[in-house]
Structure 1
Amino acid sequence: MQRKRWYAIQTYAGSELRLKHQLEERVRNLGWEKSFEPLQTGEATEFFFVPVEEVVTSRSGRGRASEYRVPYDYDLLATTNERIQRGDLIARRPPKHLARRAEVISAESLWRVVVETLTHTEIEYLIPQEKGLRRDIRVGEKTRPGLPLTVDSDERYVTEERGQIVARERVKRIVLRYDDGTEETRIIPEAYLHPKVRAGATLEEGTELEREHKIHARASGLVKVKEYKDKREVSVQRIERRRLIPGYVFTKMGLDEEEMFELIRGLERSARFVGSKTRPVPIEGPEILLVQRKAGLVEAPQTEAKAPRVELEFEVGEVIQIVEGPFADFTGEVREIDKEAEEAVVMVKIFGRETPVRISFDGIEKV
């Protein structure tokens, strides 16, 4: 058996995972497992590796972050930086019960429209349902001072400030009269109102007024929570898996040249070994360090936390050196600078091909 060394197999960008699956299958069919260095990825043992990185974006599957308005009477079950899956429970409002015996004096049907202002405060508008809302009064629409909410442009129901509509729902204004003569008014969404709660009904202590409400995630990703005066805003940011080195599959093996060419013969996507046309060449230097770091075989260097930077030490077009993460020891040209995110896009050469990588300012030094 040949000494095991690292090799790169080139294919079309976007075909790496398909080629990797074909190579894994061929190795097992040929019984060559002992000629390959096993790589542990989760619970599976594999012989080929496609370096990827996880990137948190502000886009959901439809291009925007999935956002959820969570009032403070809800129990928030998700926390910032927690990973969740589609369908997971984000928040829950427990059912509400009557604390003492009461009679329902009235149950008025209303529209509730909630506008979030530019300062993140909320203004609630309660409108009789018989009025009818304008068709453009829906969640996500912008508002301005004096915008009519009803079809007949009733001046009593106009928006007060610039903002955005964050809620639009049918509700009931329930007036309860207790045995001691005191009265209480509650606003309950029709979707969660218990059927027993209707005008003229007498409700015993413990009767359920409002059913439980749950908010489930519509997408998978990373949770971010912001707290404001009237609510919490939960967003689920999509996590994308991006190829670090597009167009390459890596393996550590001990095959001879004839066996190497048999390994890739007939595979789709024009698979070929990196090297000369007739002889695969083992990869060494910074390229193999990158692969080993992403495979978890070698620890990537990390820089110590630095004080806030007052000014940048480099500019677009300047050649810098990367000093942390899987690309440590690579040099490249700064293509873009994102001061808000404190990151730079650096073009590094991998196997002679320029590849853009995003690096934090702390991971870059002048050459």
Structure 2
Amino acid sequence: MAKKWFVLRVQSNKEDKVKGDLEKRIKMQGIEGLIPQILVPSEKVSEIKGGKKRVAERKMYPGYVMAEIEVDEKGEIPENVWYMIRDVPGAGDLIGGDTRPIAMESSEVERLLKEAERAEEKPKAKIEFHIGDRVRVKEGPFENYEGVVEEVLPTSGCLKLMLTIFGRPTPVELEYWQVEAL
């Protein structure tokens, strides 16, 4: 029998709880072979709050849980598994057609697994600035200067700004937490 990936719609902010409840039910019913993997894709994001750097986990697809499920010869989920999934508190329905769920495309599954693998790495900076935003420098040698965001560099967590210093536009590169939006 083949295994295919399906998407389960769940209540927002209940993804981890639904995953845990689903794993408990699978274990209790002894059907670990029918649902070998359940994923809640998330990534680590670093942010500065109250002057302190902290790493938070952010869901990549809020309101959704992905599950690998063994299907029958027709490519359908066994009825007992389908009803067990739908009975989990907080779980909605499997995404798909009118009567039966539709499996994810293999290219989507590959992309999803690569994203989940990459999310395990170094946390990304949570930069909420965009090109053209007006900002004020709140820390460093250019404190209280105002400027415009010219470029956002998410890999390094920096912003390239155009500040007016002594009446001349001057390009400056600062870390995202050193500026605030106007």
Opposite residue 24 of structure 1, the aligned amino acid is E
Indicate the residue corresponding to 1:249 in structure 2: 65
1:274 positional shift: 1.0
Of 20, 35, 51, which aligns to 1:65? 51
Amino acid aligned to 1:242: R
Q: Distance in 2 between matches of 1:23 and 1:240?
A: 24
Aligned to 1:273: 94
1:108 aligns with: none
Q: After TM superposition, list the pairs within 5 Å mapping 1:162-311 onto structure 2.
A: 237-255=53-71, 256-284=77-105, 286-296=107-117
TM-score using structure 1 length = 0.31
> Do the aligned partners of 1:257 and 1:279 also contact (CA within 8 Å) in 2?
no
Q: Kindly tell me: are residues 278 and 240 of structure 1, through their superposed partners in 2, closer, same or farther at Cα, counting changes over 3 Å?
A: same
Report deviation, 1:285: 5.2
Q: What's the CA shift string for 1:187-210, capped at 9, x where partnerless? A: xxxxxxxxxxxxxxxxxxxxxxxx
Amino acid corresponding to residue 14 of structure 2 in structure 1: S
Count of residues in correspondence between the two structures: 123
% identical aligned pairs: 26
| Per-residue deviation, 1:286 | 4.9
1:45-84: CA deviations, max 9, x gaps?
xx3110000010011xxxx123xxxxxxxxxxxxxxxxxx
Give how far 1:34 is off: 1.5
Q: Which residue of 1 aligns with 2:179?
A: none
Q: Please report the TM-score for the alignment, with normalisation by the length of structure 2.
A: 0.59
The answer on whether the counterparts of 1:50 and 1:248 sit within 8 Å (CA) in structure 2 is yes
CA distance, structure 2, for counterparts of residue 287 and residue 247 of structure 1: 18
Q: Aligned Cα RMSD in Å? A: 2.5
Distance 1:277 1:25, change over 3 A: farther
Alignment of 1:1-367 (within 5 A): 2-37=1-36, 47-59=37-49, 64-66=50-52, 237-255=53-71, 256-284=77-105, 286-296=107-117, 336-337=130-131, 339-343=150-154
Q: Provide the rounded CA distance (Å) in 2 between the counterparts of 1:48 and 1:339.
A: 41
- C-alpha displacement at 1:259, in angstroms? 2.8
Which consecutive residues of structure 2, in runs of 5 or more, have no partner in the other structure?
Answer: 72-76, 120-129, 132-148, 155-182
Note closer, same or farther for the CA distance 1:270–1:32 as it changes in structure 2 (3 Å cut): closer
SS at match of 1:19: helix
Relative distance call for 1:26 and 1:277 in structure 2 (3 A) is: farther
- CA shift, 1:277, in A, is 3.3
**Secondary structure at the residue paired with 2:18?**
helix
Between the aligned partners of 1:269 and 1:24, the Cα distance in structure 2 is: 14
- Please give the alpha-carbon distance, in whole angstroms, between the structure 2 residues aligned to 1:292 and 1:33: 20
Q: C-alpha displacement at 1:264, in angstroms?
A: 1.5
| Matched-pair contact (CA < 8 Å) for 1:55–1:242 | yes
Check the 8 A contact 2:40/2:64 in 1, yes or no: yes
- Structure 1: gaps (5+ residues): 38-46, 67-236, 301-335, 344-367
Q: Tell me, yes or no, if the aligned pair for 1:11 and 1:269 is still in contact at 8 Å.
A: yes
Q: Distance in 1 between matches of 2:65 and 2:92?
A: 9
Using the TM superposition, give the Cα deviation of residue 263 of structure 1 relative to its aligned residue in structure 2, in angstroms.
2.3
